[in-house]
Structure 1
């Protein structure tokens, strides 16, 4: 993973690094702690200059500092992505070098788009094609990697592209994950105007049908563009979507899917076993498990592993260093991911389960975390304040962090231990006080959530930032000590609810509009996941020098789920804990999970209790005043 940035200038003088705001540069370096460098690209007799800035987190293959420049062609490349499939590349190769070589060999626009269409995995990129003075940039189909843009009418900074930004004027916006953008810098320099060309994603054509644009709502794309920026849609070259369209058929629902008396069904594993007794249903469940297992395998093995021993390890703890962590609430999404990760992560390597809890204000009033630190004394993080010099527990206030996700997380941990008692599972209890929340929101989180600005963005952004930091407490054989996860890869379950009807609004939609309405809702969910979730989560997790990976958004997994009729994925006539994400619950039961397979959906902001921490009567869609007040400071 990397922090990438490009400043395009039409001034007479080449740009310097001073054009990059100090805050933006700092955020980029936190994303890529292993290498940082800049490159200014100026072309004689051409009225444009580009400053490229690359910051690398090394995870696979040969370490490749960025930006990468080809001395022969003059092409320059910035890459923030992972190639998991679609292109033949070995685990020892640098995907940055590989993709750059392929781009340099492209002789036409069609070649560039064909190459990008073939990549399976998350990515954002910036590519300067020197022979044509083109600047190409964009995000993958789902927008799993952040890329922001800022336009400026002043000629010193016409356009800035960056993985992460800071609140400023003019504002930044997320680059829409609607296709690949291209700028002809030669034309821009001559006309002193910015014209964007968008090559939109399309579904591959079928027999006797024309190509259908997958995502291309011109009004949405141009909504945040300033008036001096022109946008043109170019559909003459194919940029094929990496997934199949959603199956919206609703007339073939089999009778057996409706044969249960919903008024008498309770959320119980026995009900799942009744479904699994159907041969057809069990076949689909096994196909889904195989697809998801392969997705997890790609994401836990595609990284450089070392054999470093853990220092100061506790009695009973594994000696090897963990390389993979999971955002772990104990809910069905995270427990299934952990179960499948256990299949592929080397047995001698621990897996970190990151469980975050926020302390309610009324429980804080007498706690140690509220005391003012002594002058000259370094204050410990809230998770560690209950320890003396011998790293042993000295207070009982940890019980106040027993929020719902902590309770289900511990229960999920026991299920994992039952499935594989030989694995070392590091259940990391990450405890956050209101003081720590306010401090970190102002220092880091508000700038990472930006340009999103709602109460929901604040809650999720803060929860994910603290969880992915991985700093908390781990207990082995009754011995509880401070711990900081060294894992650079963080798996998250996002994408499961959006595809398998996991949200409460899906029940409302089904009740009001039936299966046809539910299909439309699910299609919308996946279409907006880039702007609603993924850019924000990538920025937040990447701030710790870690990479977010999303097994449920693997292209093969999404295509498989898209191919199924909606009633094979969910049955919202059934009660909570069964009907939503039914297919995933059946997979969990088939994998040997019990209690976690029938846990009702609970949103992270409620399970971690951050939504109640500051005692505000707010709606999730309201603009968050806490983010706004920080942004203007």
Structure 2
């Protein structure tokens, strides 16, 4: 994982370093703490200059400083992981492998074919010297951040993994994950103006993307570009092949589409045994095991594609206190993170701990009193049964002792989830990292780091989720050592996250609302839209947030094989929103969890991180999630 940056200027009157200031470089170095270097490329007979800046987090194969340059003056910056599609040996570095393949590409079609074959998250910048072309883009889901900024006054163009919040007129935007872009620098230098060419993604089942579809993509991107930057479709109408199959929108009569009969408020008490009835059906059980197999492979790729010391690779070595964790999971104890942790346990070497990162924001006294008197809805799991409150005593904060003011819902379900995982594999060292955040620290870190990482997004929801993930992925908290909590900082460079499960398996409350209004047809459209917009709503932001700690986010539920498998199923096989909360949403995942040996967590209702961690209640309760968040503005006064 890396921080990559490129600045192009068509005007030699301005120093190119003016467009990549020290603050941006500081954020890039935080992403790639193991190597940093940059250099300027000047076209000898043309009036353009390019600054390339690479900052590497070393994870696989030999250490490979970036930018890479070959004998033909081609230059490559890569922020990604190749999990499949192009062979990368155990002792090879994927940056070197991909650069070698790129330099063998002689046509545009060759380059598109190469990137179409890749499986895994990526963003890249590639300077092709022979054609004076700059190529760049993000993967199909946008799992790696890439931002752009256009400066008309100085004829400059910037690309970077992360930037700093700016109130200037030249706003940064996320590069759309709509395809790969190309700039002909020779032509742009001649006209002293920038022009972008797009090579869009297209569905694999469509032989030729329709003109209407292509121009719709163009219009969507163009409306957010400055007027002086035209975007055109490539002349040959070439496209990238989407790495996943299209969504199956089949609705069978047997699926019982009954808008208006949604039973999310059903008073029937849900129990883990409820799932057993579904698994008694042979076809359903077979489907669940196919899902487990494909998700298991996705997790395996993500926990093993990682440099480990030789002694860490040895299987069968007993757990010892001096072993360090290489894998961490953003962990709430909910179904998404529980399944990831259970599958990671199958592949992480037995002597190696797994860090479970659990974040909690301090509960206000008033909120604590309310929560103790609130009654649970009948269909929801009784959280106090999962984790008896008497185990959470008020002790001194400076010693790291457990405090009830941090007993937020995700902390309680997290502790319960830990017990389930310990039951599945008691020989594994599970480091349950209790990450406690006060209002004072939240404000300080938001102003120092987090607001820059969330930018250019700016809503209350972005703030809540971004802050929660930043503190969680930092991994600084306390772990239990022989019954006593001691300070701990997770050394894991890879952070597994459950994003993508709700979007594909109807996990959000808005999916129930949609189903109730529009039935399965409407729900299908909603789920299709979820993946279409996940790059702009979630993934660029989350990559910037987690990468800020010199760690890499990996997303098993967004593995291309997992998405294709789920896309192949009709909605009725994935979720049944006529069933109560805690069962109906993400039904196939709950059944998979049951088969993996999980218990109480299999029927926990969805709880978003901003509510489970209680960050949403910490500063303001009167805001809407879609409101612009004033706290993200650098010079705001709280």
TM-score, L = length of structure 2: 0.90
Cα offset, 1:631, TM superposition: 7.3
For residues 252 and 67 of structure 1, what CA distance do their matches in structure 2 show? 56
Q: CA-atom RMSD, angstroms? A: 2.4
Question: 1:23-63 CA deviation, whole Å, 9 max, x = no partner?
Answer: 11110000000000001111111121100000000000111
Question: 1:587-609 CA deviation, whole Å, 9 max, x = no partner?
Answer: 00111111000000000000000
For residues 367 and 271 of structure 2, what CA distance do their matches in structure 1 show? 37
For residues 35 and 278 of structure 2, what CA distance do their matches in structure 1 show? 52
For structure 2, the 5+ residue unaligned runs are 313-318, 369-394
Secondary structure of the residue aligned to 2:328 is strand
For residues 95 and 541 of structure 2, what CA distance do their matches in structure 1 show? 23
Secondary structure of the residue aligned to 1:194 is coil
Cα offset, 1:192, TM superposition: 1.1
Cα offset, 1:17, TM superposition: 3.2
For residues 12 and 610 of structure 2, what CA distance do their matches in structure 1 show? 50
- Structural mapping, 1:148-547, within 5 Å: 148-155=147-154, 158-168=156-166, 169=168, 170-205=170-205, 210-211=208-209, 217-234=217-234, 236-251=237-252, 253=254, 265-306=268-309, 318-362=321-365, 386=396, 398-547=403-552
Alpha-carbon distance change, 543 to 260 in structure 1, aligned in 2, over 3 angstroms: closer
Count of residues in Structure 1 that have an aligned counterpart in Structure 2: 599
Q: 1:606: which partner in 2?
A: 611
For residues 529 and 367 of structure 2, what CA distance do their matches in structure 1 show? 41
Secondary structure of the residue aligned to 1:577 is coil
Cα offset, 1:336, TM superposition: 0.3
Alpha-carbon distance change, 459 to 260 in structure 1, aligned in 2, over 3 angstroms: closer
Contact 1:14 1:50 in 2 (8 A): no
For residues 322 and 159 of structure 2, what CA distance do their matches in structure 1 show? 42
Alpha-carbon distance change, 439 to 52 in structure 1, aligned in 2, over 3 angstroms: same
Q: 1:59: which partner in 2?
A: 59
Cα offset, 1:166, TM superposition: 0.9
Further displaced range: 128-137 or 248-257: 248-257
Cα offset, 1:210, TM superposition: 4.2
Contact 1:253 1:567 in 2 (8 A): no
Question: 1:128-159 CA deviation, whole Å, 9 max, x = no partner?
Answer: 0010011000000000000000000123x520
Alpha-carbon distance change, 140 to 253 in structure 1, aligned in 2, over 3 angstroms: farther
Alpha-carbon distance change, 525 to 133 in structure 1, aligned in 2, over 3 angstroms: same
Alpha-carbon distance change, 52 to 302 in structure 1, aligned in 2, over 3 angstroms: same
Contact 1:139 1:179 in 2 (8 A): yes
Contact 1:204 1:211 in 2 (8 A): no
Alpha-carbon distance change, 185 to 573 in structure 1, aligned in 2, over 3 angstroms: same
Alpha-carbon distance change, 210 to 217 in structure 1, aligned in 2, over 3 angstroms: closer
Alpha-carbon distance change, 6 to 260 in structure 1, aligned in 2, over 3 angstroms: closer
For residues 108 and 621 of structure 1, what CA distance do their matches in structure 2 show? 44
Contact 2:257 2:520 in 1 (8 A): no
Further displaced range: 482-491 or 222-231: 222-231
Question: 1:148-201 CA deviation, whole Å, 9 max, x = no partner?
Answer: 00000123x520000001122211000000000000001110111111011000
Q: 2:121: which partner in 1?
A: 122
Q: 2:371: which partner in 1?
A: none
Secondary structure of the residue aligned to 1:497 is helix
Q: 2:386: which partner in 1?
A: none
Cα offset, 1:361, TM superposition: 3.7
Secondary structure of the residue aligned to 2:487 is strand
For residues 190 and 210 of structure 1, what CA distance do their matches in structure 2 show? 34
For residues 6 and 517 of structure 1, what CA distance do their matches in structure 2 show? 42
Further displaced range: 300-309 or 612-621: 300-309
Cα offset, 1:91, TM superposition: 2.0
Question: 1:350-407 CA deviation, whole Å, 9 max, x = no partner?
Answer: 0000000000343799xxxxxxxxxxxxxxxxxxx9477xxx55x66x2210000000
Q: 1:30: which partner in 2?
A: 30
For structure 1, the 5+ residue unaligned runs are 310-315, 366-384
TM-score, L = length of structure 1: 0.91
Cα offset, 1:64, TM superposition: 0.5
Secondary structure of the residue aligned to 1:121 is coil
Contact 2:180 2:200 in 1 (8 A): yes
Question: 1:236-276 CA deviation, whole Å, 9 max, x = no partner?
Answer: 22310000000011135457999999957532211211001
Q: 2:50: which partner in 1?
A: 50
Cα offset, 1:19, TM superposition: 3.0
- Structural mapping, 1:67-106, within 5 Å: 67-71=67-71, 73-106=72-105
Alpha-carbon distance change, 338 to 215 in structure 1, aligned in 2, over 3 angstroms: farther
Further displaced range: 436-445 or 38-47: 38-47
For residues 14 and 104 of structure 1, what CA distance do their matches in structure 2 show? 31
Cα offset, 1:16, TM superposition: 4.1
Cα offset, 1:204, TM superposition: 2.2
Secondary structure of the residue aligned to 2:498 is coil
Secondary structure of the residue aligned to 1:217 is helix
Alpha-carbon distance change, 506 to 141 in structure 1, aligned in 2, over 3 angstroms: same
Secondary structure of the residue aligned to 1:357 is strand
For residues 534 and 153 of structure 1, what CA distance do their matches in structure 2 show? 29
Contact 2:7 2:50 in 1 (8 A): yes
Is 1:4 equivalent to 2:7 in the alignment?
no
Cα offset, 1:306, TM superposition: 1.9
Contact 2:11 2:156 in 1 (8 A): no
Alpha-carbon distance change, 53 to 631 in structure 1, aligned in 2, over 3 angstroms: farther
Q: 2:372: which partner in 1?
A: none
